[in-house]
Copies of this chain bind each other. A is one copy, B any other.
């Protein structure tokens, strides 16, 4: 996804990095596979049944949670794990489809508010059950409650590791 920017000076051989044990490697490969295939299955269902990508659905869902169905672009970008640029393009597309509109914040013209339209809300409501059903069958119900808790906790740990400034 990211693009090359500064150039590949194949950095000085990093100090003795222990390779992965075979269990670790197997675990990593399983995890990668799940992280590739699960999102894809979710995307397929949404695209087929609602004509939305997951991130589009997610953006609409977050908007629907606000009392005014309104969020600032930057806030929505954070909530949906998107870059501001990506969200800007995305909202432009949704706007072209009449699901969302944009207007500058009255109090501070630098902010742009994304506002869900009635059509957007209707589409969300119409597509939520199918999406939730898929998430249930592929994730929630595929794991025992304990496994789900563990899985979520581990994900939380990964997110924490991502926060930590990386030295390399």
Contacts and interface: CB of A to CB of B under 8 A. Distances in A.
Interface string A1-44: 11111111011011001111000101110111111111111011
Contacts of A1: 39-40, 43, 53
Interface of A: 1-8, 10-11, 13-14, 17-20, 24, 26-28, 30-41, 43-45, 47-51, 53, 58, 81, 123, 126-127, 129-130, 132-140, 142-143, 147-162, 166, 168
A51 to B, nearest CB: 4
Given A30-B152, A147-B150, A136 B10 contact: no
Contacts of A32: 58, 81
